């Protein structure tokens, strides 16, 4: 079971860091409502209260896609993208698409506006059987809507309109939005993003579950792990790992730390860290407050960001996710010549060496003035990852309430969208567009 070691962080705090009363209030708001944004706390009970019929449909659709497609194009951005990619890369590898396997390749599109990136995936799928999962809660987000146009057109050219419709799966609001209307009109199979679950808390809904299941990952185990953690998070004291993590990161923030680095010594964790950054950044970064969430891949980034972490501005704290060793281990070979002088490592597993790197880094960074928390996440499997996801979500809800913000809105995201629409002359934005062009000197 996941645990959090805060011993190398609390030494940077004086006085009572535990914030027990504030946490009790925050936990009560998460469990029972009454706090800011409480119409978006559906994710708290989701691992138990999810729609079982829809879950069965997700499994069925995943099997169909596995049987009739060599590739799945997953179209979405932000919370409609990062969780699925994080889980697939963490459990299936960042090289998932290159591996020999029985499951389809999974390509993520609609998370930007790059012509090169779109063309690349377009060319990769155009000559193979493929399906599309278009995901947008609002159903109106520009990036995925634009990407969907290309892949919908390609599917229709390839299979004809009727067969293409059978290869398009739309995950969106149950009744509102342009995507829902289109899906109903065209007869796509649809999955629901529940009203009370916001994008960045939606990985355990159809948003994440369909692509994850297509990649051959056991979504029952993922939900089971989340349910285990949900039960642990109901405990209102510091045996609850989410309490411990939320309390210490907030106490450190109050003590002047400004940036939290999420680190992991497994490169496959990289997109889970991207998911975490969105979760914490969008939930807490508002009202001119919040720790800036950043991430580093170790040991690679010890050779780039390591210098700054060790000796730069002392406003950092670090949270390191550690996994138990994978069953299969590479063992360092013995070399007769020993030209590199590394025979003292011969016979050791890479995990043993990685662990010494973790401990050595921990001591160095703490001595350099960076408080460190360790999240021991157990094995890198679907069950433990489900627990880790729920842990981070719950701690994020608690943490946002400790900070005094609404952890479930993202009003700041609208600013760039309005400017972009105005600059593209969207009907209704003409006047604003003229003003902006003037500011740009165009
Ligand atoms: O967390 C959020 O709410 C956002 O990041 C959204 O997920 C993102 O903007 C995509 O929105 P939508 O699913 O409506 O296309």
Contacts of 215 (CB under 8 A, 6+ apart): 88, 92, 96, 103, 104, 106
Coil, helix or strand at residue 133: strand
For the sheet with 71-75, list strands across it: 105-109, 71-75, 130-136, 168-172, 189-192
> CA-to-CA distance for 395 and 2, rounded, in angstroms?
13
For atom 9 of ligand 1, which residue has the closest CA? Answer: 78
pLDDT digits (tens, 9 = 90+) for 321-353: 999 999 999 999 999 999 999 999 999 999 999
Q: Which residue has the CA at smallest separation from atom 15 of ligand 1? A: 136
Cα–Cα distance measured from residue 115 to residue 135, given in angstroms and rounded to the nearest whole number:
20
Residue range 352-374: average pLDDT?
Answer: 98
pLDDT band at 202 (very low <50, low <70, confident <90, very high): very high
Is residue 292 within 8 Å of 281, Cβ to Cβ?
Answer: yes
pLDDT tens digits for range 69-80: 999 999 999 999
Is residue 15 pLDDT above 80, yes or no?
A: no
Look at 52-56, 253-257, 361-365, 415-419 and tell me which has the smallest mean pLDDT: 415-419
Nearest to 222 by CA among 41, 399, 55: 55
- Is ligand 1 within 6 A of the CB of residue 361? no
Q: Is the pLDDT of residue 307 over 70?
A: yes
Give the integer Cα–Cα distance in Å for 301 and 372.
16
User: Quick one: tokens of 24?
Assistant: 């009790």
Residues 418-435 have a mean pLDDT of 90
Q: Is the pLDDT of residue 16 over 80?
A: no
Average pLDDT over residues 141-145: 95
Which residues belong to the active site?
Answer: 282, 303, 417
Pairing of strands 372-376, 3-5: antiparallel
Domains of the chain (ranges; CATH) run 3-33+222-403 (3.40.50.10490), 43-217 (3.40.50.10490)
- The answer, yes or no, to whether any atom of ligand 1 lies below 6 A from the CB of 283, is no
Pocket test for ligand 1, best of 79, 179, 274 (most atoms within 8 A of CB): 79
Looking at residue 294, its pLDDT comes to 98
* Per-residue pLDDT band at 140 (split at 50, 70, 90): confident
245: CA distance to ligand 1 center in Å?
26
333 exposure class (CB count in 10 Å sphere: 0-12, 13-18, 19+): exposed
Cα of 201 to ligand 1 centre, how many Å? 10
pLDDT of residue 415: 85
Q: Strand, helix or coil at 259? A: strand
Does ligand 1 have an atom closer than 6 angstroms to the CB of 138?
Answer: yes
Q: How confident is the model at residue 14 (pLDDT cuts 50, 70, 90)?
A: confident
Residue 324, pLDDT score: 97
- In the reported structure, the alpha carbon of residue 418 is separated from the centroid of ligand 1 by a whole-number distance in angstroms of 15
pTM, whole model, 2 decimals? 0.97
Q: Give me the percent of the chain exceeding a pLDDT of 70.
A: 100
Q: How do residues 248-272 score in pLDDT, each as one tens digit?
A: 999 999 999 999 999 999 999 999 9
pLDDT at 418: 87
Q: Is the CB of 83 under 6 A from ligand 1?
A: no
Residue 236 CA to ligand 1 centre (angstroms): 31
Confidence at residue 302, expressed as pLDDT on a 0 to 100 scale:
96
Does ligand 1 lie within 6 Å of residue 80's CB atom? yes
pLDDT reported for residue 242: 98
User: What residue's CA is closest to ligand 1, atom 8?
Assistant: 78
Q: How many whole angstroms from 122 Cα to the centroid of ligand 1?
A: 23
């Amino acid at each position: 079971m996941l645990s959090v070691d805060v011993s190398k962080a609390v030494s940077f705090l004086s006085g009572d860091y535990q914030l027990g009363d504030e946490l009790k209030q925050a936990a009560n708001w998460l469990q029972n409502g009454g706090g800011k944004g409480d119409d978006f706390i559906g994710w708290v009970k989701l691992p138990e209260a999810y729609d079982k019929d829809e879950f069965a449909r997700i499994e069925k659709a995943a099997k169909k896609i596995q049987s009739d497609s060599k590739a799945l194009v997953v179209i979405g951005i932000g919370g409609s993208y990062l969780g699925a990619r994080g889980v697939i890369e963490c459990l299936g590898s960042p090289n998932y698409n290159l591996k020999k396997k029985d499951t389809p390749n999974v390509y993520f599109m609609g998370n930007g506006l790059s012509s090169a990136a779109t063309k690349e995936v377009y060319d990769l799928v155009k000559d193979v059987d493929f399906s599309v999962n278009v995901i947008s809660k609002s159903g109106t987000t520009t990036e995925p809507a634009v990407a969907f146009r290309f892949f919908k057109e390609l599917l229709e050219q390839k299979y004809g309109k009727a067969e293409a419709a059978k290869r398009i799966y739309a995950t969106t609001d149950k009744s509102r939005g342009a995507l829902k209307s289109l899906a109903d009109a065209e007869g796509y199979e649809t999955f629901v993003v529940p009203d009370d679950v916001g994008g960045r808390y939606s990985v355990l809904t159809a948003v994440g579950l369909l692509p994850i299941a297509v990649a051959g990952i056991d979504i029952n185990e993922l939900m089971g792990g989340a349910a285990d953690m949900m039960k642990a998070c109901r405990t209102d004291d510091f045996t609850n790992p989410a309490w411990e993590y939320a309390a210490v990161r907030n106490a450190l923030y109050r003590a002047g730390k400004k940036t939290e680095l999420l680190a992991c010594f497994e490169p496959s964790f990289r997109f889970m860290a991207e998911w975490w950054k969105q979760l914490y950044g969008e939930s807490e970064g508002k009202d001119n407050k919040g720790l800036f969430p950043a991430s580093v891949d170790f040991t690679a980034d010890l050779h780039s960001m390591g210098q700054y972490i060790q000796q730069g501005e002392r406003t950092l704290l670090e949270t390191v996710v550690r996994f138990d060793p994978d069953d299969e281990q590479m063992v360092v070979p013995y070399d007769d010549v020993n030209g590199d002088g590394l025979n003292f490592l011969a016979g050791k597993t890479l995990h043993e060496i990685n662990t010494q790197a973790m401990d050595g880094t921990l001591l160095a960074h703490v001595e350099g003035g960076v408080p460190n928390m360790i999240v021991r996440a157990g094995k890198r499997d679907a069950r433990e990852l489900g627990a880790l996801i729920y842990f981070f979500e719950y701690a994020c809800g608690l943490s946002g309430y400790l900070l005094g913000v609404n952890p479930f809105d993202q009003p700041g995201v609208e600013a760039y969208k309005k400017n972009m629409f105005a600059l593209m002359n969207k009907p209704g934005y003409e006047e604003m567009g003229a003003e902006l062009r003037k500011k740009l000197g165009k």
